[in-house]
Amino acid sequence: MNEADGTALLRARFTEAGYAITPNFHFVEGDIDVDLDGWDAAARVGYEYITAEAGDFKQFDAPTLARFEARMRRGDLFVLLIDEHEAVTREALDAAARGFLAELARVRASQGGAP
Amino acid sequence: MSWVPAERVLEVVKAQRQVLAGEQARAAQFAGFHATERAKVDAERAQAVHDLGDAVLPSLEAKVIARAAETVGLLGLPAEDLPAKVEARRAWLAARVGEVERDPRYVQRELLLHPRTGSLPRAIAEATELRAPASEVVSTCDDHPRFERLLETGFGTPEFSAPWWRYSYWEDRSAASAIVALFPGKTTFAEVRAEYEGAKSTVAVFDADIARHRAELADVEALVREHAAAVDEHQHLDARALAHTRGRIVEHLLTSDASLVSQRLGRAPALRLLFLRASGLAAKLAYLDGVERVHVGEIAKDIEDRRVKLEGVEQRTRRRWAPMPADKFAKLAVDRRPAYERRWQRVGKVYESVRLYDRWDRGRYYDDLLWWDLMTRGRYDGSYLPDVTEFHRRHPGYRFEPDTRALALSAADMRRRAEEEAEDEEAAEDARAAAAAIAADADDDGGPLAGRVDAS
């Protein structure tokens, strides 16, 4: 499955879950400056296919990724990172997106937020 | 300038191609003929070598070895004391056979080795059977493409730390669920992991058992083979030692300068003839191979070159469909068959001169013996053959004398003179003896032998 099809599927799942996704969002906050494939600025939720073709490994280098994930650990934002590129099937990506969104809902509920 | 139309050019190309095909068939036929003849000559050579070995060393007795060594110039051979070595080997073999026969593994070899009832094959079969269920668990897990990763990342244990916002986390979960589903009764990946680790240990234990049994089995089989080999060697020791020593002597003769060997064997005419036959047949084999390789190889290369040229002419003509200048066409249309025929005739003459030669006895007339010249009567250049080149390098002043009759007469003359000289020497010896007797008679009256002469 290529990145275009993958991001289309992710946008559909995130939209179904109630997120207002802006595709290809330029995210700049503090010491993080990256392009995200999809981002809901209000909910602070999104997704990103990290692929070599798009030069994502330059943006999402190890220090940037560490800073990005530190924010997720704090509950400041949540981005589904597609960090594998071989044999990503439609079914597997769909299952991962559903799993991510369900977990997100649980976490947000425990934080007292919505959705 | 006149021109030949393209159609005519293509006709000639086709005709010339047929000529080449005929020559190619002829080359293949020659190669087949050579293979057959080569096999015959090789069989003759092997027989000649065998006969020479038999004659030069009839047995392995010390005196026979000494005589053979003196005859062929292998002076170090008697000092090797081959009979003693053979006896020592015989004793060692007998001792080793006894030792093996007392070895409990050899004594019980049937009980140990029998494919169906032997204890070792049975132990291997049993271990393999007991290993199977554990092996099945291991292979079921190992066959899953993500199992190794799950094991390494500690999935299902507190060490597993992949964050849930990564796609790989969800892939790991899916894979773990799929693997757990392969083991009825198991509900978590941790249970599967424990089952896998236990199975892995079980497999390792049985693998070690199987390896140990197989090593034991191989040891016993090796012992049985060693026993059979030792018994066989013991039974045929004399024949093998004799054959081996004959081989060494014949090797020495056939790899030395044939002229020198022939001269050395002059006092053993029958042996010399056997040597000349073996030496000549070995040379014949090398020459036939060389003639076939070089001459037929050249013709084959020529045929191939012409074929490529014809292909070029055909392609150009078909592409341009243009006429060819008459002078160029004349060269293309030359009938090559007579030229090839002459070449085949030459090859045939050289090959047949060598192939049909069998006057090995003539070698004895030559102090510098080059079989090539004898076989071809010096008519053909053999400088493309390594043996011939090497001979000329070693004998720079060599000239071939084709008149073997004259050489034979000269040899006979020399022999007669030698005999006459020997007779003269004998007469002189008689004369010296007579003179001594007369001198002794003269001393009878007061000499130291006077009493004894009287008594006789």
Say yes or no for a CB contact (<8 Å) between B165 and A93. no
Q: Contact at 8 Å (CB) between A101 and A17?
A: yes
Q: Which residues of A fall within a CB distance of 8 Å from B163?
A: 69, 72-73
Q: Please state the length of chain B.
A: 456
Question: What pLDDT band is residue A1 in, cutting at 50, 70 and 90?
Answer: confident
Say yes or no for a CB contact (<8 Å) between A103 and B164. yes
Q: Which residues of A fall within a CB distance of 8 Å from B173?
A: 99
Q: State the pLDDT at residue A83.
A: 83
Say yes or no for a CB contact (<8 Å) between A81 and B174. no
- The alpha carbon of residue A21 is apart from the nearest alpha carbon of chain B, in Å, by 17
Tokens representing B352? 């047949």
Q: Which residue of B has its CA nearest to A73?
A: B163
Rounded to whole angstroms, the Cα distance separating B130 from B116 reads 18
Q: State the pLDDT at residue B432.
A: 63
Listed by start position, the domains of chain B span: 105-238, 413-455
Output phi, psi for B58, to 5 deg: -65, -30
Low-confidence ranges of chain B (pLDDT < 70): 411-412, 414-456
Q: Which residues of A fall within a CB distance of 8 Å from B167?
A: 80-84, 88, 93, 96
Q: Which residues of A fall within a CB distance of 8 Å from B165?
A: 69, 72, 78-81, 100
Nearest to A72 among B163, B168, B173 (CB): B163
Q: Report CA B202 to chain centroid distance, whole Å.
A: 51
DSSP secondary-structure letter at B443?
Answer: T
Q: State the pLDDT at residue B445.
A: 40
> C-alpha angle with apex B335: B330 to B340, nearest 5 degrees?
140
Nearest to B171 among A78, A80, A92 (CB): A92
- The alpha carbon of residue B223 is apart from the nearest alpha carbon of chain A, in Å, by 55
The pTM of the whole model exceeds 0.90: no
Q: Which residue of B has its CA nearest to A97?
A: B167
Tokens representing B136? 């099945």
* Peptide linkage before B323 cis (omega within 30 of 0): no
Q: Contact at 8 Å (CB) between B384 and B294?
A: yes
Q: Which residue of B has its CA nearest to A10?
A: B167
- The alpha carbon of residue A103 is apart from the nearest alpha carbon of chain B, in Å, by 8
Q: Which residue of A has its CA nearest to B165?
A: A80
Q: State the pLDDT at residue B91.
A: 98
Q: Report CA A103 to chain centroid distance, whole Å.
A: 13
- The alpha carbon of residue B317 is apart from the nearest alpha carbon of chain A, in Å, by 53
Say yes or no for a CB contact (<8 Å) between A84 and B171. yes
> Letter for the amino acid at B37?
E
Q: Contact at 8 Å (CB) between B26 and B347?
A: no
Query: Does residue A115 carry a pLDDT above 60?
Result: no
> Under DSSP, is residue A23 helix (H, G, I), strand (E, B) or coil?
strand
Residue B401, sorted as left (phi over 0), alpha (psi -120 to 50) or beta, turns out to be beta
Q: State the pLDDT at residue A52.
A: 61
Rounded to whole angstroms, the Cα distance separating B270 from B120 reads 61
